Amino acid sequence: MKVAQIQFSPWDKTYYFSLNNLDVRVNDQVVVKTDIGEEIGKVIGLTEVNEDEFYKKAKADDEKEKREIKPILRFVTERDVEGLPTKRDKQDALDYAKSMKEKYNLEMKFLDVHFSFDKSRVTFAFIADGRIDFRNLVKDLTRHFGRSIRLQQIGIRDEARICGDCGHCGRPLCCRGHLKNLDSITSEMAEIQQCSHRGSDRISGICGRLMCCLAYEQAGYEELYKKMPPIGKRVDVDGKKGEIIGHHTLKQSVMVKFQGEKGEGYTIVEVDLNRNKDKK
């Protein structure tokens, strides 16, 4: 079954909706029906899903929530756009929320606000170091806006996606442009790509987390790493016995330590793993 991956705000997760026989394309703005009302979302991708597997996973994820793949209702019209909140409306809403946050002295930072298309809800995105008791804040916001209020805590990486900037490469942040899903980036990725020695400042983005681009070539490095002999293995190089003490994964070479002839001192030589193939 072909479905559209739709996102309602840059910091929200993506949801699956069936195409409903519409010629939907990436970046289209569409109106959909959710469990809590109508919304306008952006199509960020098209993919195939197995319905049986989807419902099985949905049930395992949340027994209380009977999720289903709902259809896209229609494309967004000019009239729909005219009724959407302006940038000024959103900024005013954020300014008010920030003033109420100061009133209750809450350690949180508001980043963005989303008004639902059916005008029934206002969702504020914020970051905080821990759990926040914002019950009184929600009461004030509900009275002020006259709508259902939802506060959604997001991660520091989402802040970078919302605010935008340039990365170490000098180009706009990937998460601000083409990168739709913020996958987990681990220290093992930096280690297998042999860049962890550069220090956290050089391999971390402006969000303070490991750079998302570490995942781009990970599969290639993993494939190359499978061909590398283990550290500590004893090897014979041109008749001399040595021990592998290091790898150069991308170059497909190893550092081999040879003990001195009289047992004193040692030498370290870089050995190309493909050298015998080149001789042929």
Residue 145 has pLDDT above 90, yes or no: yes
pLDDT tens-digit readout, 47-69: 887 766 666 555 555 544 456 78
173-192 burial: b if 16+ Cβ within 10 Å, else e: bbbbeeeeebeebeeebbeb
Give the pLDDT score at 165.
80
Averaged confidence pLDDT in the chain: 86
- Which among 186, 243, 198, 190 has a CA at the least distance from the CA of 221? 190
Q: Measured between alpha carbons, how far is 182 from 179 in angstroms, rounded to an integer?
A: 7
Band of residue 280 on the pLDDT scale cut at 50, 70, 90: very low
Give the pLDDT score at 63.
47
Q: Measured between alpha carbons, how far is 19 from 26 in angstroms, rounded to an integer?
A: 12
Strands (E) located in 165-265: 234-237, 240-248, 253-259
Check if the beta carbon of residue 173 is closer than 8 Å to that of residue 164: yes
Check if the beta carbon of residue 274 is closer than 8 Å to that of residue 252: yes
Torsion (CA) 232, 238, 239, 242 in degrees, nearest 10: -20
Check if the beta carbon of residue 237 is closer than 8 Å to that of residue 255: no
Band of residue 83 on the pLDDT scale cut at 50, 70, 90: confident
Check if the beta carbon of residue 151 is closer than 8 Å to that of residue 126: yes
Q: Does the structural domain 87-154 have CATH classification 3.30.300?
A: yes
Name the residue type at position 3. V
Q: Which of 79-88, 103-112, 165-174, 196-205 has the lowest mean pLDDT?
A: 196-205
pLDDT tens-digit readout, 85-107: 999 999 999 999 999 999 999 99
Residue 203 has pLDDT above 90, yes or no: no
**Assessment of whether the complete model's pTM goes beyond 0.85:** no
Q: Is 75 left (phi over 0), alpha (psi -120 to 50) or beta?
A: beta
